[in-house]
Amino acid sequence: MTNAKETIQGLIDTNTVVLFMKGTKDAPQCGFSSRVAGVLNFMGVEFSDVNVLENADIRQGIKDFSDWPTIPQLYVKGEFVGGCDIITEMTLNGELDQMLETQGVPFNKEAAKKIREANA
């Protein structure tokens, strides 16, 4: 499993924002991955996607790595942020904006506002 752990650490270290997901940001293969990728895409966040369906070691490895049982998993500047429910909540209460801003990750503030208005 060391290989998967090193690979995962490398991906987290070399990408400002990385989403471990089922499928890709352009073709998500589960609803939860689709929701998180959709939020990031809509908000204009540049992120790398890692399709866990392509590698069983990474698929299990990311769960062990973060000690989090579900996919997708979002990392920003090396920090584990959360999965679908957490990202959804953070988007709706403005915490995601604050975190991205604090971390210096560019995003479209108007798009973030639109998501909140649409879900108010």
pLDDT, tens only, 70-91:
999 999 999 999 999 999 999 9
| pLDDT at residue 2 tops 80 | no
| Token digits of residue 12 | 């987290």
Number of domains in the chain: 1
Q: Which CATH number do you get for residue 82?
A: 3.40.30.10
Residue labelled with tokens 């798009």: 111
30 is in an annotated binding site: yes
Amino acid 120: pLDDT:
84
- Determine if residue 77 is left, alpha or beta; phi over 0 gives left, psi from -120 to 50 gives alpha, anything else beta: left
The beta-strand segments (E) located in 1-120 are 17-21, 48-51, 73-76, 79-82
Spatial distance between the Cα atoms of 115 and 15, rounded to a whole number of angstroms: 25
User: Domain range spanning residue 96?
Assistant: 2-118
Burial class of residue 35, CB neighbours in 10 A (0-12, 13-18, 19+): middle
| pLDDT at residue 1 tops 60 | no
pLDDT digits (tens, 9 = 90+) for 16-75: 999 999 999 999 999 999 999 999 999 999 999 999 999 999 999 999 999 999 999 999
Whole-prediction pTM value? 0.95
